[in-house]
Structures are given as C-alpha cells and as structure tokens.
Amino acid sequence: MKILNSILIIGLSLLTSVTSIAQPTKGGKKISSDLFGLFFEDINYSADGGLYAELVQNRSFEYNPTERSEWNPFSYWEYISPGFSYGRISVETSAPVHPNNPHYLVMDVEHVGNEVKFVGTSGVGLKNSGFDGMVVKANDQYNFSMFVRQLSKDPISFNISLQTPKGKVLAESKITTSSGEWTNYTASLIPTQSCDTASLVILATIEGKFAIDVVSLFPEKTFKNRPNGLRADLAQMLADMKPGFIRFPGGCLVHGDGLGNMYRWENTIGPIEQRKEQRNIWGYHQTAGLGYFEYFQFCEDIGAKPLPVLPAAVSCQNSGGTWRIGGTGQKAVPMDEMKDYIQEVLDLIEWANGPVTSVWGAKRAAAGHQVPFNLQYVGIGNEDKITTEFEQRFKMIFDAVKTRHPEITVVGTVGPAPDGEDFTKGWKIADDQKVPVVDEHYYTSPEWFISNQQRYDAYHREATQVYLGEYASWGNKLRNAIAEAVYMTSLERNGDVVRMASYAPLLAKKNFTQWKIDMIFFDNTVICPTPNYYVQKMFSANQGDYYFDKVITKDEKDQLLAASCVQDSKTGDIILKLVNYNETAKPMKINLGKFGKTAAEAEQSVLAGNPDAENAFENTSAIAPTSSKVKISKSFDFSAPAMSLTVIRIKTKNK
Ligand code: AHR
C-alpha cells in the first residue's frame, strides 16, 4: 500500500509539474523575448588586458608604433641576464611561426654566469609583467606555453618562473627544447603565494641561439575553465545579467580605422598563433585571442544569442588621424573585391551554422564545436555615414544574405544619432529594402530619456523593427541609471517593435579608458559596477515575452514616473518594474486581477538612493540593489521610493 501511495504521489507530482507549464495570461501583447542584451566592444581595454584572461602583454611581439608612438615589438618585455650572464636579442621576421604572425624574437645566449647567491638562477632571458602586473593566486594552476625554434645545434634549457617584483620565486618549471622547427612547449606553474603584481620570467640557462614567439600564460580557472578563455570574475558579472543576446565585437572597432583596419572575422579564428593581430580603432592592440570562436562560445555558455556585426564593406567615417577629428573618412571596398567580401559574410554563417561536412563548419568543428552555434542574427554596418558607396554595398550584402540564408535576420544601421541626415537616409533604405531590423544609437542627457518615452509608441508596427544597439545617458550617477530605467519601461511597452536593446559601452579598465561613461569599470583585481549596470541587470534578468497594460496605476501626468508589467511565459512569472525619477516617494497602485492565482509572497529588488551617488573603486557597492520577500495581494498600494527602480517578481499558480 505504502509503495502504491508513493507511486501515486510521484505520478501526481509529475502530472502537476507537466500541467503547471504556464500559459501566457490572456490580454497580453507579445513582445520580443530577446529584448535586453549586451553590447561588447573592444574599447577601454575590454578584451586584451580585460575580459580575455591572457596574462602576458604583447605575447607575439606584434606591438608597433602605429598603435602608440612609444610602442615597438619589444614593448612590455624586459631583457634580463642575472648572474653576470650576457647575450643579444633581435626582432626578426624572416621565418615566422605563421605568416599572420610575422614578428618573433631571436636570442643569442653568449655566456651563462655562475649561479650567484641572492640572485637566483643565472641565464639570459625575458620578463613580462603583463597588463600592469599579473594577478596570481596561491595554489591555483597557471598554464604556460611558448613557441621556440632552436637555432643552434644543442637543445636549450629554460627556467620558467613567476616572481614577485622583488624577485621572489612563486612558482617554477623547466623546459628543454628538442627541435629546430617551431614547436609549442608547455608547463604548468602553481604559485605558493598570491601576488597582484607578479611577472613571468623565462631564462635560458644554456648557451645557444633560439627564436621565441607566442609566449602565453593563462589561469586554469577561466570562466567555465575554457582554454584560451575569459577572466572568470568579469565574465560572471555579465552572465549574472542573463542577457538575451550579445552583440560583438563593436562599435566603431568593426568598421575600423581605414579599410585595412576593418575587423575581419576570419582572421580571428583557429590556433592563436595563426590569428592576425592588429591595432584597433581605439589606439591599442588586439591579439584577436578573444576572437569569433570565443565570442560564440561565451554566448552559448551564458544562454545569450550571438549578434556578430560585420562591416558593410566601408570603413569608419572617422577613420584617420585622431579619433573623431579630421582624418581620411569613409573608404569603400572596391567593387571588384565585393564578390569576395560578400563570400566572407556568407562564410561566417556557414562557420556558425553549417554541418561539419561543410568547409567552414569543419573549421568550427576543428576548434572543438561539432554542433552548430544556431546563429540567428547578423549585423551589417555600424552607425555608418549613409553615402552612395555605403548604400550600394549594404544592399549587395543584404541581398546575398537574404537569398542564401532567409533564416538569418539582418540588422541594418541608421547612423550615430536618434535623428538627422544619416538616421533619415538609413531608415529610408530599411523601408525600401524591407530590412528586418535596424540599429539605432544615442548617447544623450538624462532629460532626453525622460522626455522621449513616447518615441517608439509612434513607430509602425508592421515595418522594420528596432535594435537600440547603443544608448546611455551622460553619467554613471544613480540619476542617470534611473533615467535609463524610465526609458527601458518604454522599450518593454514597445517590445513589439523594439526587438533588442543594449547599453554602451560595456567594460572599461581603470586608467585605460577611451570612453568616459561605461557600464562596468575594473582593474586587475577589483570590479566596480555602476548604478547603470544594476538597472540593466534588473531588466535583463527579469525579461518577459508578454506585456500587460492597466496593471499599474500612477499619476499619468508625471513624466518622472514610469512602470511596466510583463510575464515570462516559460515560468509564468509576472514582473513589475516601477520607476520613480522624482526626488520624493510617489504612490502607485497595482491590480493583478487578470492573472488568476498568484503567490502570496514575491521577490522584490530595489535600487534607490541619493541621485548623485555613484560607485567608486574605494566603495564599489555604495549603490546596489537590496532584495527582500514582500507580501502580495490581488490589489495593493506601492510607494515608489525617491529616485528608484523596484522590480517585483511574482510567481503565478496557473494550472
Ligand atoms: O560605444 C562607443 C562607440 O560609440 C562605438 O564604438 C560607436 O559605435 C559609437 O560611436
């Protein structure tokens, strides 16, 4: 009988869990399920020295003076010769590890001195302190690798170590070469002690000559332990936002500083020593170690749809000279090269979605991803000047993708501002060509966001949809974030025409920024999220796919008050977002009458405080949301705190 009872209970609970899959409540408007996502651009040292976990700076000796006048292939390396040793170094290009990676270092070790007390191992070699010092943790594993080609007859022995600034050895390993061909040697280093300012030291301890390139050091503990992976703490901050999509790799970085500098996705896949490094438009170096494979992998790891953006075969209109001042302007890929260029765009779709038997699908599989990435969106162009050259090329690419891949949603571009010439011309192309989605950008005052909440109410419902690909109000104070929250409720209300939206820029390394207002600041050890981060997170981690009006009553004449109600049809949860940009608390009324049975208790998060408050490295959580459980009834009064965003997530009991 007991057994029968348990079977009955299991059966009943199975039935309950099956039948309790929520149905969207009647009366809701279907909105985009991809509404809130992330825009990642390699600006402000977001990639190398940032999200990309590589600890060695200038690992391939490819830095050069076009990036920074003081840079050269030996930048961030130090020649060392402890123990009265001596030798010679040169940078050469005649027989590189790969043609895409032309520079390498040649070292001639002429004399290795005797081991000297207090100096440590004698030899001739190199030291790299990474991006302002390497952060290493006691007992964690660090994976070292380097390509070496022996140029003298006998094998070369190396001592590889991690050292403090004072030369204390934290971890040590030995490598001996075995070939006159480029060979990848690896070692693992486990520091005995943590250090935020460590250096990597490579010492040849035997006389002889060798070439060295692609010297790399990665923590084993990257995000999800991926090799060639991402800095775990930063990646986790992004994962916590539960973004619907990630747009990458830019921004202006995409269309580049002149034609030769456009971001070409094919150069960023495959083994790291075969990737093409280059200066980025923001004036520093990109190794492309964080390349298309890693972007797609990260999207998959955190359940976000990938949104790669490719140049529309024109370079940035601000190309040349100093960023945004003068320069050569927009340049277009010559017409007789467009066939190849279009093929490159089509190849990306095959690389992402094609079977392993296809040419490009096989390259994806070779990188370790057999199954397709399920790419749905491709962006063509980034806030380009809408010239005849742009228009011709955009149409050619758009037509090719539409014909060959009707399953792909193309995202076009309508200039850098919420209105004006490029905006109007870009929208005309979108209307004429029936482009499915276009990318709007605006960086402006908090007041603009408050007074433009009705912007998308007036957009045509049956025409091109909007991707608000870059937006931010001018500041990282709480008031900026709350102004954005006000506006974001209008994006939800218009989620039938606004398909996606992403704040910009995302990441910024302290003391290495090119853009002042950003979402997350960081240095090598500390992450400082802004109030804007929390607003983005509160919206993106609480997305719905049905919008409901008339649930929240408030003073409709008060433009500083905003609210939205959505339901997530996967969970059945009802999500209220209640925003008050006033400097005093304001009343609202909530009526959940249309939602059937709801839980008596709900999760509530509140972001509130002094309008001028912001987070700083000295106090990274001056402004952060607080969470609590609150009692909920069918209809209840709510007092929205001054300068606040409140999110209330309510479970339903729809059967
Ligand atoms: O987000 C920073 C920059 O702003 C982007 O690169 C560009 O698209 C815009 O002008």
pLDDT over 50 (residue 436): yes
Q: What is the 3-state secondary structure (H, E, C) of 347-389?
A: HHHHHHHCCCCCHHHHHHHHCCCCCCCCCCEEEECCCCCCCHH
Instruction: Give the whole-angstrom CA distance, residue 619 versus residue 449.
Output: 28
For ligand 1, the distance from its centroid to the CA atom of residue 334, given in whole angstroms, is 25
Instruction: Give the whole-angstrom CA distance, residue 368 versus residue 349.
Output: 17
H/E stretch holding 640 reads: strand 635-640
Mean pLDDT of 184-208: 98
Q: What is the pLDDT of residues 379-417, one digit of tens each?
A: 999 999 999 999 999 999 999 999 999 999 999 999 999
Mean pLDDT of 644-650: 98
| The ligand 1 atom nearest the CA atom of 443 | 4
Buried-state track 23-50, b at ≥16 Cβ within 10 A, e below 16: ebbeebeebbbbbbbbbbbbbbbbbbbb
Instruction: Give the whole-angstrom CA distance, residue 183 versus residue 177.
Output: 8
Residue indicated by tokens 């990109």: 286
pLDDT over 90 (residue 321): no
Q: Atom 8 (ligand 1): residue with closest C-alpha?
A: 251
Q: What is the pLDDT of residues 514-541, one digit of tens each?
A: 999 999 999 999 999 999 999 999 999 9
Pocket test residue of 43, 317, 325 for ligand 1, highest count of atoms within 8 A of CB: 43
Number of H helices, E strands in the chain: 11, 34
Q: What domains can be seen in the chain, in order of their start residue? A: 35-53+222-543 (3.20.20.80), 77-219 (2.60.120.260), 552-650 (2.60.40.1180)
pLDDT at residue 14, rounded to an integer:
36
For ligand 1, the distance from its centroid to the CA atom of residue 482, given in whole angstroms, is 22
Q: Atom 7 (ligand 1): residue with closest C-alpha?
A: 251
Catalytic residue IDs: 383
Percent of the chain with pLDDT over 90: 92
- Give the pairing of strands 169-176 and 157-163: antiparallel
Q: Is 517 in the pocket of ligand 1 (CB under 6 A)?
A: no
For ligand 1, the distance from its centroid to the CA atom of residue 252, given in whole angstroms, is 5
Q: How confident is the model at residue 9 (pLDDT cuts 50, 70, 90)?
A: very low
Picking from 529, 524, 523, the residue whose alpha carbon sits closest to that of residue 510 is 523
| The ligand 1 atom nearest the CA atom of 254 | 6
Instruction: Give the whole-angstrom CA distance, residue 623 versus residue 417.
Output: 30
How many other CB atoms sit within 10 Å of the CB of residue 218? 21
For ligand 1, the distance from its centroid to the CA atom of residue 28, given in whole angstroms, is 35
Q: What share of the chain is helix, strand, coil (3-state, %, to 5)?
A: 25, 30, 45
For ligand 1, the distance from its centroid to the CA atom of residue 39, given in whole angstroms, is 10
Mean pLDDT of 642-649: 98
pLDDT at residue 318, rounded to an integer:
87
Length of the chain: 655
Q: Is 383 in the pocket of ligand 1 (CB under 6 A)?
A: yes
Q: Is 382 in the pocket of ligand 1 (CB under 6 A)?
A: yes
Mean pLDDT of 442-464: 97
For ligand 1, the distance from its centroid to the CA atom of residue 15, given in whole angstroms, is 51
Q: How confident is the model at residue 7 (pLDDT cuts 50, 70, 90)?
A: very low
Mean pLDDT of 472-489: 98
Q: Which residues contact 14 (CB under 8 A, 6 or more apart)?
A: none
Q: Is 261 in the pocket of ligand 1 (CB under 6 A)?
A: no
Tell me what the pLDDT averaged over the chain comes to: 94
For ligand 1, the distance from its centroid to the CA atom of residue 250, given in whole angstroms, is 7
DSSP helix/strand/coil, 395: helix
| The ligand 1 atom nearest the CA atom of 382 | 8
φ and ψ at 600, to 5 degrees?
-80, -15
* CA 194 and chain centroid, separation: 28
How many other CB atoms sit within 10 Å of the CB of residue 324? 10
Q: Atom 2 (ligand 1): residue with closest C-alpha?
A: 505
How many other CB atoms sit within 10 Å of the CB of residue 20? 12
pLDDT at residue 265, rounded to an integer:
98
pLDDT over 60 (residue 279): yes
The neighbouring-strand residues paired with 522 are 509, 527
Instruction: Give the whole-angstrom CA distance, residue 228 versus residue 222.
Output: 8
Amino acid letter at 208? Answer: G
Instruction: Give the whole-angstrom CA distance, residue 565 versus residue 550.
Output: 9
Q: What is the pLDDT of residues 211-227, one digit of tens each?
A: 999 999 999 999 999 99
pLDDT over 60 (residue 323): no
Picking from 48, 100, 94, the residue whose alpha carbon sits closest to that of residue 276 is 100
| The ligand 1 atom nearest the CA atom of 504 | 1
DSSP helix/strand/coil, 24: coil
Q: Is 323 in the pocket of ligand 1 (CB under 6 A)?
A: no
Q: Is 515 in the pocket of ligand 1 (CB under 6 A)?
A: yes
Instruction: Give the whole-angstrom CA distance, residue 187 versus residue 174.
Output: 8
Upper half-sphere CA count for residue 561 (Cβ side, 13 Å): 18
Q: Atom 5 (ligand 1): residue with closest C-alpha?
A: 251
| The ligand 1 atom nearest the CA atom of 251 | 6
Instruction: Give the whole-angstrom CA distance, residue 362 versus residue 366.
Output: 6
Query: Cα dist. 305→39, 46, 237, 647 in Å?
Result: 12, 20, 17, 24
Mean pLDDT of 264-276: 98
Q: Atom 3 (ligand 1): residue with closest C-alpha?
A: 251
- Give the pairing of strands 498-503 and 465-473: parallel
Q: Atom 4 (ligand 1): residue with closest C-alpha?
A: 251
Pocket test residue of 441, 471, 502, 503 for ligand 1, highest count of atoms within 8 A of CB: 441
Q: Atom 1 (ligand 1): residue with closest C-alpha?
A: 505
Q: Which residues contact 118 (CB under 8 A, 6 or more apart)?
A: none
Least confident of 15-19, 243-247, 498-502: 15-19
Q: What is the pLDDT of residues 97-119, one digit of tens each?
A: 999 999 999 999 999 998 766 56
Opening angle at CA 238, ends 236 and 239, nearest 5: 60
Q: Which two tokens stand for residue 404?
A: 């060959």
Q: How confident is the model at residue 3 (pLDDT cuts 50, 70, 90)?
A: very low
Mean pLDDT of 115-125: 78
Side-by-side strand order, sheet with 635-640 = 552-553, 586-591, 635-640
| The ligand 1 atom nearest the CA atom of 253 | 6
Q: Is omega for the bond preceding 303 within 30 degrees of 0, making it cis? A: no
- Give the pairing of strands 527-529 and 520-522: antiparallel
Q: Is 250 in the pocket of ligand 1 (CB under 6 A)?
A: yes
Instruction: Give the whole-angstrom CA distance, residue 576 versus residue 604.
Output: 9
pTM of the model: 0.95
| The ligand 1 atom nearest the CA atom of 41 | 6
pLDDT at residue 327, rounded to an integer:
65
Q: Which two tokens stand for residue 116?
A: 């000297």
